[in-house]
């Protein structure tokens, strides 16, 4: 790899709308006589905002370029990254903190999960051992899986491969089994106290349309070249590999074509098709369902029988899959499945494989190098051993003040959402009462589960791995994966405990979540820091940053998918028909609004249907956070201005909203986001909700008809 890091200026990605120096800024700056705050926290906050904003841009013309302009102009995208966001900075800080903890010498009184974590990191960092093993371990695994046809050529024994039986071998090596049918263990959509096995369509890497387009698609062509090079390293003859893998590419196109596109998967009721395995066998007789399911699950106690029930998410997919597999040779099936396995292990393989991965990802994301080895190993360690890494982290770094403040903000923001519900004129009273009941029932899990402070509980959880140690990285990965899968499989027959700590996200995940089956929101410790939250700065900024995210997650309970569940997490239609139609009309306004936005850098329109849930949550969450901040001011009084920034606290709220989403994208990465992400690109997560907000244009005095205050606005909540 090139040791020199190439960087790109973000200003080359986004076109900024600018005006003369400070021409417009003075018209929106504060004319109040609020005193300035000169505490260390306020000084730091002022410096942060000054590092983001471009005051030469008229905020009523392009608020994103105003609030993020300096960040966009001055931020450089390192060659190992496809984008740089404020999340990037928090992630790097988290990696630095974890590195210090994990690299501390082991002690004799250290609990075993922490020793396991440190051992794993050490093995990951041992590049000489990884290079010495080369691909031998993976070759042994492939041999046990039945061999890779593209490598073995005519020597491959086609009659010995059965995709239904092969999943058992994939499972015992810690490899994915979702090569043809995806298996998920979810709460029963209509009875959230129990779990149901869901059988779904396959999830292929890359966008569905990429595969359907085939080798004429630039990304698929790069993927094909990558596959060929990998196969050659494993021993395939190049010309033969090109022929075999081109056939496989066509198979993946056919496989993608029988999947349901994401815009048709938003009706949860349509995805809920429970049936006994006996009924499954009668409807789709070519698959030996009892044997197949038990091979995938590899139960340690009782297996599934013909009388047990599962959920089929897309019945038509299973029907079409039967037909497709009957006309597809076993060679093609095996080439597809084995490459899936190799692809899943690529990040743990020697340099000559990694450089091929890098070359493909240059086409996919625009990156030209990869992140430092220690950062890779920190990320892998926290992904594989999340509870151990999370427990180690929160015992040193997490602020209890952040937890207390977040809990208070959840209470305030939820209260404002309930007020919004009460004032709606388009909801009938019965539906409104049920909606309020659901909002008040939302559980909030903030920071971390207290069990992570309990050494005994941690040791009990990881007990099956206590005696496991190897210097073989692939085997280490496989054993931890099997351990985690066994933990999940072990939950099949047990009632759901909605307070169970082991099913919660690790506290070192920089994200937030709404779980419709639980009717709960989750804010891991890692997101309650940095630009998202700081107890030493004014509350306007916290409500603008983490506050809008809290509101966003609360609103997910009432977006087009969340609204399909009741307060107990069950799939129940609690909507009056007329009110449901009114919701659909309001959602359609949001859909059409985003559909009509073209992202000029990639010449693609946003996908309003696929992103509608996130867009509804963005718009509603912003409003709730703003109103909650106004209530805070009513109780505590107006906040001071920040030094050197002549903006009101309300204006700082909106600036903080935008600062949260400031992002520098590579064009390739932006294109993938538009095509595959169910969120709108960050720029439009700022511009569109603010254009829809009457509160925003009042605080910045934007004239009606200006770009940030259009006459036509959309609102659901």
Give the residue numbers annotated as catalytic, written as ranges. Answer: 553, 618
Residue 245 exposure: Cα atoms within 13 Å on the Cβ side: 27
Q: What residues pair up with 598 in beta bridges, in sequence order? A: 605
User: Cα-flanking dihedrals φ and ψ of residue 609, to 5°?
Assistant: -75, -50
In angstroms, what CA-CA distances link 334 with 145, 247, 252, 264, 342? 9, 12, 12, 30, 12
Q: What residues pair up with 515 in beta bridges, in sequence order? A: 520
Pairing of the two strands 604-605 and 598-599: antiparallel
Q: What is the CA radius of gyration of the chain?
A: 27
In eight-state DSSP terms, residue 336 is H
**634: Cβ contacts below 8 Å, ≥ 6 apart:** none
User: Cα-flanking dihedrals φ and ψ of residue 110, to 5°?
Assistant: -75, 140
Helices (H), 500-595: 539-542, 548-556, 577-595
In eight-state DSSP terms, residue 105 is P
CA distance 201 to 93: 38
In angstroms, what CA-CA distances link 107 with 103, 176, 276, 281, 466? 12, 35, 52, 55, 16
- Per-residue tokens: 285: 């007789």
Q: Is residue 210 within 8 Å of residue 218, measured between CB atoms?
A: no
- Per-residue tokens: 12: 């080359």
Residue 707: CB atoms within 10 A of its CB come to 15
CA distance 534 to 41: 8
CA distance 692 to 486: 47
**169: Cβ contacts below 8 Å, ≥ 6 apart:** 144, 145, 146
DSSP 228-281: HHHHHHTT--HHHHHHHHHHHHHHHHHHHHTSPPGGG---TGGG--EEEHHHHH
DSSP 656-688: HHHHTT-EEE-HHHHHHHHHH-SSPPHHHHHHH
CA angle 671, 674, 675 (to 5 degrees): 85
Distance between first and last Cα of the chain: 51
CA distance 383 to 636: 41
Task: Name the nearest CA neighbour of 209 among 244, 259, 170.
Answer: 259
Q: Is residue 198 within 8 Å of residue 309, measured between CB atoms?
A: no
- Per-residue tokens: 483: 């351990």
Sign for the pseudo-dihedral over CA of 681, 686, 687, 692: positive
Q: Is residue 77 within 8 Å of residue 84, measured between CB atoms?
A: yes
């Amino acid at each position: 790899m090139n040791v020199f890091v190439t960087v790109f200026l973000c200003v080359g990605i986004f076109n900024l709308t600018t005006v003369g120096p400070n021409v417009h800024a003075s018209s929106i700056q504060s004319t109040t006589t609020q005193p300035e705050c000169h505490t260390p926290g306020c000084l730091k906050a002022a410096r942060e905002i000054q590092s983001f904003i471009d005051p030469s841009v008229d905020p009523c013309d392009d608020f994103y370029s105003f609030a993020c302009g300096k960040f966009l102009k001055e931020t450089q995208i390192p060659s190992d990254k496809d984008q740089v966001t404020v999340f990037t900075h928090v992630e790097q800080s988290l990696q630095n903190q974890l590195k210090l903890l994990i690299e501390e010498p082991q002690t004799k009184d250290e609990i075993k999960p922490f020793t396991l974590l440190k051992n794993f990191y050490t093995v990951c960092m041992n590049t000489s051992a990884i290079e010495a093993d080369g691909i031998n371990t993976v070759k042994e695994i492939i041999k046990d899986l039945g061999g890779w046809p593209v490598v073995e050529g005519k020597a491959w024994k086609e009659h010995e491969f059965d995709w239904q039986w092969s999943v058992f071998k994939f499972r015992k090596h810690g490899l994915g089994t979702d090569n043809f049918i995806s298996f998920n263990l979810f709460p029963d959509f209509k009875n959230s106290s129990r779990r149901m096995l869901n059988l779904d369509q396959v999830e292929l890497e890359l966008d569905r349309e990429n595969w359907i387009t085939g080798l004429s698609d630039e990304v698929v062509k790069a993927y094909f070249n990558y596959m060929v090079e990998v196969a050659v390293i494993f021993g395939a003859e190049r010309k033969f590999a090109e022929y075999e893998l081109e056939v496989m590419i066509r198979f993946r196109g056919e496989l993608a074509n029988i999947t349901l596109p994401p815009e048709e998967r938003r009706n949860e009721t349509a995805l809920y098709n429970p049936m006994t395995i006996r009924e499954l066998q009668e409807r789709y007789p070519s698959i030996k369902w009892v044997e197949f399911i038990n091979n995938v699950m590899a139960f340690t106690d009782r297996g599934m029988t013909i009388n047990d029930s599962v959920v089929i998410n897309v019945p038509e997919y299973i029907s079409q899959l039967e037909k497709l597999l009957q006309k597809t040779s076993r060679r093609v099936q095996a080439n597809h499945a084995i490459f899936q396995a190799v692809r899943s292990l690529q990040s743990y393989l020697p340099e000559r494989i990694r450089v091929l991965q890098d070359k493909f990802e240059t086409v996919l994301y625009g990156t030209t190098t990869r992140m430092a080895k220690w950062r890779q190993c920190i990320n892998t360690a926290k992904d594989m051993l999340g509870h151990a890494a999370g427990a180690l982290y929160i015992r040193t770094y997490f602020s209890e003040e952040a937890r207390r403040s977040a809990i208070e903000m959840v209470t305030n923001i939820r209260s404002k959402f309930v007020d919004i519900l009460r004032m709606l004129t388009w909801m009938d009273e019965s539906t409104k009462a049920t909606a309020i009941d659901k909002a008040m029932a939302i559980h909030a899990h903030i920071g971390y589960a207290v069990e992570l402070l309990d050494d005994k509980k941690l040791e009990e959880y990881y007990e099956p791995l206590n005696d496991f140690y190897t210097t073989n990285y692939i085997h280490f990965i496989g054993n931890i994966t099997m351990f985690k899968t066994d933990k999940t499989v072990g939950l099949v027959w047990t009632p759901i405990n909605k307070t169970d700590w082991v099913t919660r996200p690790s506290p070192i995940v920089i994200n937030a979540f709404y779980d419709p089956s639980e009717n709960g929101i989750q804010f891991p410790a890692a997101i309650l820091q940095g630009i998202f939250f700081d107890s030493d700065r004014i509350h306007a900024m916290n409500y603008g940053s983490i506050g809008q995210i809290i509101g966003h997650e609360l609103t997910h309970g009432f977006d087009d998918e969340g609204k399909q569940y009741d307060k107990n997490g069950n799939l129940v239609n609690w909507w009056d028909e007329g009110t449901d139609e009114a919701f659909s009309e309001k959602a359609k306004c949001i859909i059409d609004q985003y559909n009509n936005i073209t992202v000029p850098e990639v010449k693609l329109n946003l996908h309003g249907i696929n992103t509608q849930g996130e867009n509804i949550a963005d718009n509603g969450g912003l409003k709730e956070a703003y109103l909650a901040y106004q209530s805070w001011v009513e109780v505590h009084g107006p906040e001071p201005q920040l030094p050197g920034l002549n903006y009101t606290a309300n204006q700082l709220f909106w600036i903080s909203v935008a600062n949260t989403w400031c992002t520098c994208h590579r064009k390739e990465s932006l294109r993938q986001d538009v095509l595959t992400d169910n969120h709108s690109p960050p720029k439009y997560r700022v511009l569109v909700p603010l254009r829809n907000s009457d509160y925003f244009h009042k605080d910045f005095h934007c004239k009606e008809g200006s770009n940030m205050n259009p006459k036509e606005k959309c609102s659901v909540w």
